Amino acid sequence: METSAVLASAEDQIVDEAVAALDRRDQTHHHASSPEERRRNARHLFEFVVRCVHEGRAEPIIAWSRQIAADRFVAGLDIAELQGAFNVLEEVLWRHVADTLAGDQQIEALGLVSAILGAGKDALARTYLAVASRGGNPLGEQPAPPGGGGEAPTGGALAGTDSPAGAVRTGVLGQVGVITLDDRRKRNAIGAQMADGVVAALGSLRAQDVRVVVLRAAAGMDVWSAGHDMDELPRGRRDPLGYNDPLEGLLRAIRICPAPVVAMVHGTVWGGALDLVLSCDLVIADETASFAITPANLGLPYNTTGLLHFLGRLPINLIKEMFFTAAPLDAQKAKEWLVVNHLVGSGELEAFTLELAATMATKSPMAIAVIKEQLRVLTDYQPIAAQVYERIQGLRREAYDSSDYLEGLNAFAEKRRPIFRGT
Q: Which residues are catalytic?
A: 228, 272, 302
CA distance 50 to 6: 9
Binding of ligand KGJ by 310 (CB under 6 A): no
CB 200, CB 193: distance < 8 Å: no
Are 121 and 240 in contact by the 8 Å Cβ rule? The answer is no
Among the listed residues 228, 255, 309, 372, the single contact to ligand KGJ using CB under 6 A: 228
Chain centroid to CA 374: 21
Distance CA 211, CA 51 (A): 24
Residue closer to ligand KGJ (CB basis): 113 or 194: 194
The DSSP H or E segment spanning 177 is strand 176-181
Considering only the stretches 93-101, 116-124, 198-206, 298-306, report the one whose residues sit in contact with ligand KGJ under the rule CB under 6 A. Answer: 298-306
Assess 186 for contact with ligand KGJ (CB under 6 A): yes
Q: Which of residues 204-223 bind ligand KGJ (CB under 6 A)?
A: 223
Q: 187, 211, 216, 396: which one contacts ligand KGJ (CB under 6 A)?
A: 187
Residue 316 burial by CB count (10 A; 0-12/13-18/19+): exposed, middle or buried? exposed
Please identify, using beta-carbon distances, which residue of 383 and 422 lies nearer to ligand KGJ. Answer: 422
Least distance from ligand KGJ to the Cβ atom of residue 22, Å: 42
Mask for 31-70, x = binds ligand KGJ (CB under 6 A): ----------------------------------------
Contact segment (CB under 6 A) with ligand KGJ among 138-146, 163-171, 227-235, 339-347 equals 227-235
Does the footprint of ligand KGJ cover residue 167 (CB under 6 A)?
no
Considering only residues 266 to 285 of the shown chain, the ones binding ligand KGJ according to CB under 6 A are: 270-272
The least distance separating ligand KGJ from the CB of residue 126, rounded to whole angstroms, comes to: 28
CA 384 – CA 381 distance, rounded (Å): 9
Per the CB < 8 A criterion, the answer to whether 309 and 275 are in contact is: yes
Nearer to ligand KGJ, 56 or 145 (CB): 145
Angle at 291 between CA 288 and CA 295, to 5 degrees: 145
| Residue number with CB closer to ligand KGJ (19 or 189) | 189
- Residue 173's DSSP bridge partners are 176
Integer CA distances (angstroms), 230 to 88, 186, 272, 294, 310, in order: 40, 10, 10, 12, 21
The site for ligand KGJ (CB under 6 A) is made up of 186-187, 189, 223, 226-231, 270-272, 294-295, 297-298, 300, 302
